[in-house]
Amino acid sequence: MFKFLLLWRAMRRTSSCGLVVEQKHSTQEEMLKVATSALSLTGTRRGRRLESLLTVMVVGPLIVALITSPIDPVAYKYSNSTMPELVGVLSVNDRLQKATKLDFAGGLVGAESFVVDKNGHIYSGLRDGRIVRINVTDQSFSVVTRISDPYYHCDSPGEKCSRPLGLDFDASGSLIVADPFKGLLKVNVTTGETVLLAGAMDSGEIAAFNNLAVLPNGSIFVTKFCKRSDFSLEVLEGIPNGELLHYDPVTKQLHSVATNLFLPNGLTVSSDGRSVLISESGKARILRYYISGAMAGQTEVFAENLPGLPDNIQPASRGGYWVAFPMIRPGSQLDFVAENPWFRRFLVPVSLLDQLLCLWYVDTSPICA
């Protein structure tokens, strides 16, 4: 078991398990040489003793951690229907591989959502807390503002943390930003001045805001991904704690309009303006929340049993919507993991073990990511 874990760690040897590590071996062949060299020790008597000791050190705490896991996950299903196959219109293609890749000096690490202004400039939030303005013509970018210290220097949610995710412009041209640590922000894209519109709904929670949509009247809808600061554990539990929130620019109040959502993610205003569409990643479906008309205030399923877990969603110029799927269900174990809570209970100590191996095997100081 330890041999496998060590080889696996040597193969990955990149920034993982929430730690940023130095990649000293840039090719797979070099990493395999390192792993083979490390494993060759196990053929000696000293190596066998070391292997036995390390196996006990690894397996023992793993069993204890499994019994005392900090989560109590529940089973859930993406759909009662058969998982869709990747055939017909869902067939795998390489169209995105043929797209032109824009090369920006300095890199745009962790660009999440994006929005385009009337001049054709693209705005996006980065992993380090910066919001940037991108000029596609000359492939350059400039920093609009940095909301706070870099996200990957944060040991826990607080004043120094920021990770701008969802973006949208309001009628005045200000950029509205959903930040899971800070809350709902308003940014002047000319001066960089940033104003907090609304923070976390309850004390003791992080805001957990993910994406947003601004209506013509200035109202803002925003998805709240989860409740707890240890949101990775909440995701593994499989409990629908997400919400759809509404911010009223007149009263300056934020309140919940839809609850019990499982990892609500992307958000956009429908083409007819009568509803907002919500990517519910944890259920592999898209919901519609009506904001006007006879069904105002009601939620219904817009599309379900999707082939992957939907993330950002944007209206397409030719009708319909563009939906990003960071994970695909067919050919993966997503449905198995969803329907077997014991496995997710097991994943927590495995993740902790992975971080211990990072610290033990890679000789570099980790940085909180």
Least confident of 20-34, 207-221, 231-245: 20-34
pLDDT at 17: 33
Residue-wise burial string across 14-40, b where 16 or more C-beta atoms lie within 10 A, e elsewhere: ebebebebeeeeeeeeebeebbeeebe
Least confident of 59-63, 112-116, 132-136, 221-225: 59-63
d(CA 165, CA 299): 24
Least confident of 96-105, 188-197, 265-274: 96-105
Phi, psi of 39 (to 5 degrees): -80, -20
- Give pLDDT tens digits for 293-310: 999 999 999 999 999 999
Given a cut of 70, whether residue 320 has pLDDT beyond it is yes
Tell the burial category of 305 from Cβ atoms under 10 Å away from its Cβ (0-12, 13-18, 19+): middle
Given a cut of 50, whether residue 357 has pLDDT beyond it is no
Given a cut of 50, whether residue 184 has pLDDT beyond it is yes
More confident residue, 363 or 227: 227
| Contact between residue 59 and residue 1 where contact means Cβ atoms under 8 Å apart | yes
d(CA 324, CA 321): 10
Q: What is the mean pLDDT of the chain?
A: 79
Residue count of the chain, please give it: 369
More confident residue, 73 or 258: 258
In this prediction, residue 230 has a pLDDT band, given cuts at 50, 70 and 90, of confident
In this prediction, residue 52 has a pLDDT band, given cuts at 50, 70 and 90, of low
Strand 242-248: give its sheet, edge to edge: 209-214, 220-224, 242-248, 253-261
d(CA 207, CA 199): 6
pLDDT at 218: 94
Please compute, for residue 285, the number of CA atoms within 13 A of its CA located in the half-sphere on the CB side: 18
- What are the residues whose beta carbons fall under 8 Å from the beta carbon of 110, sequence distance 6 or more? 126, 127, 128, 163
Q: How many CB atoms lie within 10 A of CB 43?
A: 9
- Calculate what percentage of the chain has a pLDDT beyond 90: 47
- Give pLDDT tens digits for 235-284: 888 989 999 999 999 999 999 999 999 999 999 999 999 999 999 999 99
User: Cα separations (Å) of 59 from 51, 52, 247, 350?
Assistant: 12, 10, 49, 10
Given a cut of 60, whether residue 365 has pLDDT beyond it is no
- Calculate what percentage of the chain has a pLDDT beyond 70: 71
pTM exceeds 0.85 for this model: no
In this prediction, residue 323 has a pLDDT band, given cuts at 50, 70 and 90, of very high
